[in-house]
Amino acid sequence: MSIEYDYIRDPQEIYRESFAQIEAAADFGKMPADVADVAVRIIHACGMPEVIDDLAWTDDFAAKGRAALKAGAPIIVDCRMARDGIIQNRLPANNQILCPLIDERVPEIAKEIGNTRSAAAVELWKEHLEGAVVVIGNAPTALFRLLEVLHDGAPKPAAILGFPVGFVGAAESKDALIAANIDIPYMTLRGRRGGSAIASAALNAVAKDNK
Amino acid sequence: MSIEYDYIRDPQEIYRESFAQIEAAADFGKMPADVADVAVRIIHACGMPEVIDDLAWTDDFAAKGRAALKAGAPIIVDCRMARDGIIQNRLPANNQILCPLIDERVPEIAKEIGNTRSAAAVELWKEHLEGAVVVIGNAPTALFRLLEVLHDGAPKPAAILGFPVGFVGAAESKDALIAANIDIPYMTLRGRRGGSAIASAALNAVAKDNK
């Protein structure tokens, strides 16, 4: 039996209607316009307007992240799904996306430092960190380890998009980012929620020049 | 200034602690054990125990999905992020993961049928659908279109893991799956929430033999 469902099939109309619903469901009044653009894309990615209440950011993170990307900065991601959520043809300078987690040296480093593979990969981030845009969409241990190496004097990234997810360490690692006092622009989502879709949506919004 | 944060660094301990927290936070009593295994992994992927209240499923979907994978069935995904969340070395028969969305014919088909690229890709799913495991982690239009082609007599997949996300059509497409009466095992998450991380986590749980 043939059935035709009633749904919007035009991608432009889906896009317009989605963003109209998001604008109606969340209050972006407390945010600078370029931060609000990122928040909108985050909400779009997860379907949850209420995450706006848990977002934390420095007012300069979108501008600093965008400027870094325009200048050709690499993007460092903590996991493959975050990498694959990044819309490459929207990047302003054909920016490299580095995912050191998949480097074959990582398991050995993890044993050496007594930490997860995600945290071990941060050792391989170091040489690329200077001025980079960091995107964390999975591992709390990657964010904790990043903060540790930064406190130890590792080169500073231009911005940190910190969205680890889960039950063990995610909320704590993001609270640590907010409290770190390391003078690096960031956006994060307090609590257990996060993930690659949110992280890559945030990066895509930062990469897009709305002006 | 060197700072060492207090966090769990042992991946096995993170794993144990995560699942202990999930077991404590959600009531799996209404589910068959193999469905509960999938629900646990979904909650683990998104950090939200409360999604258990919005899950809907047929009691046979995990068993049917697993049997299909063991028999070598392909996995069809609606987007790259869902594909990349699948742990390939956990698949029981080195199963193919097909992502027709990236086929170069898709934009043309989308114009022809007047639908999104995600829905257009479903035309290319058809030849692989028989007995396949379908994983939808992004597009409501893909799920709507799948239901349409199934009502029109397309070959039946072994199971549908239906987790589109967002504001336009996501909740409606999942309600349509629940109401479709097409005798195909499924799991879905009612409402706007969903996404690739949840979809691929569900597939990974189905693929894992706990017995």
Greatest alpha-carbon span in chain B: 66
Answer whether residue A211 shows pLDDT above 60: no
User: Residue A47 falls within a domain, yes or no?
Assistant: no
Residues 6+ away with beta carbon under 8 Å from B108: none
Question: What angle (nearest 5°) sits at the alpha carbon of residue B128, between those of residues B127 and B129?
Answer: 100
User: Residue A9 falls within a domain, yes or no?
Assistant: no
Query: Count of A–B CB contacts within 8 Å?
Result: 147
Q: How far apart are CA B209 and CA A44, in angstroms?
A: 34
Given CB atoms, is B179 within the 8 Å cutoff of chain A?
no
Q: Kindly report, residue by residue over A155-201, the tens digit of the pLDDT.
A: 999 999 999 999 999 999 999 999 999 999 999 999 999 999 999 99
Q: For residue A1, what pLDDT is reported?
A: 72
Active-site residue numbers of A? 44
CB A159 within 8 A of CB A177: no
Given CB atoms, is B46 within the 8 Å cutoff of chain A?
yes
Chain B residues with CB under 8 Å of A54 CB are: none
Q: How far apart are CA B158 and CA B137, in angstroms?
A: 17
User: Residue B110 falls within a domain, yes or no?
Assistant: yes
Domain count, chain A: 1
User: Residue B76 falls within a domain, yes or no?
Assistant: yes
Q: Kindly report, residue by residue over B132-173, the tens digit of the pLDDT.
A: 999 999 999 999 999 999 999 999 999 999 999 999 999 999
Answer whether residue A108 shows pLDDT above 80: yes
DSSP one-letter code for B30 = T
Range of A124's domain? 54-207
What does the mean pLDDT of chain B come to?
96
Q: Kindly report, residue by residue over B109-136, the tens digit of the pLDDT.
A: 999 999 999 999 999 999 999 999 999 9
CB contact under 8 A, B45 and A165: yes
CB B134 within 8 A of CB B199: no
Q: How far apart are CA B18 and CA A141, in angstroms?
A: 14
Residues 6+ away with beta carbon under 8 Å from B149: B122, B123, B125, B126
Cβ-nearest to B168 among A14, A80, A200: A14
Q: Report the SS3 class of residue B109.
A: helix
> Residue B143: phi, psi to the nearest 5?
-70, -45
User: Residue A146 falls within a domain, yes or no?
Assistant: yes
Question: What is the torsional sign of CA A124, A129, A130, A133?
Answer: positive
Distance from CA of A54 to the nearest CA of B (A): 14
Residue A115 pLDDT class (50, 70, 90 cuts): very high
Distance from CA of B72 to the nearest CA of A (A): 25
In chain B, which residue's Cα lies nearest the Cα of A7?
B169
What does the mean pLDDT of chain A come to?
96
Q: How far apart are CA B88 and CA B94, in angstroms?
A: 7
Beta strand segments in chain B, E: 55-57, 75-77, 97-98, 133-136, 159-162, 186-189
* High-pLDDT (> 70) share of chain B, %: 99
Cβ-nearest to A1 among B3, B17, B151: B151
Residues 6+ away with beta carbon under 8 Å from B21: A167, A168
Q: Kindly report, residue by residue over A116-149, the tens digit of the pLDDT.
A: 999 999 999 999 999 999 999 999 999 999 999 9
Domain CATH code at residue B194: 3.40.50.10230
Answer whether residue B211 shows pLDDT above 70: no
Q: How far apart are CA B161 and CA B196, in angstroms?
A: 11
Q: How far apart are CA B104 and CA B122, in angstroms?
A: 13
Q: How far, in Å, are A13, A19, B145, B165 from residue A24 at the CA level?
A: 16, 8, 28, 18
As a whole number, mean pLDDT of residues B56-62 equals 97
Chain A residues with CB under 8 Å of B114 CB are: 9-10
Distance from CA of B20 to the nearest CA of A (A): 10
Distance from CA of B210 to the nearest CA of A (A): 22
Q: Strand B55-57 relative to strand A186-189: parallel, antiparallel, unpaired?
A: unpaired
At A122, list the tokens: 């941060």
Given CB atoms, is B22 within the 8 Å cutoff of chain A?
yes
Cβ-nearest to A7 among B85, B172, B194: B172
Contact map slice: A 109-138 vs B, CB within 8 A: 114-117, 119
User: Residue B14 falls within a domain, yes or no?
Assistant: no
Answer whether residue B75 shows pLDDT above 80: yes
User: Residue B168 falls within a domain, yes or no?
Assistant: yes
In chain A, which residue's Cα lies nearest the Cα of B111?
A10
Q: Strand B55-57 relative to strand B186-189: parallel, antiparallel, unpaired?
A: antiparallel
User: Residue A6 falls within a domain, yes or no?
Assistant: no
Q: How far apart are CA B67 and CA B69, in angstroms?
A: 5
Residue B2 pLDDT class (50, 70, 90 cuts): confident
Cβ-nearest to A176 among B5, B14, B119: B5
Give the best residue of A5, A86, A88, A138 to mutate against chain B (max B CB count within 10 A). A5
Complete DSSP assignment for chain A: ----------HHHHHHHHHHHHHHHS--TTS-HHHHHHHHHHHHHHT-GGGGGGEEE-TTHHHHHHHHHHTT--EEESSHHHHHHS-GGG-TT---EE-GGGSTTHHHHHHHHTS-HHHHHHHHHGGG-TT-EEEESS-HHHHHHHHHHHHTTPPPPSEEEE---SSSSHHHHHHHHHH------EEEE-SS---HHHHHHHHHHHHS---
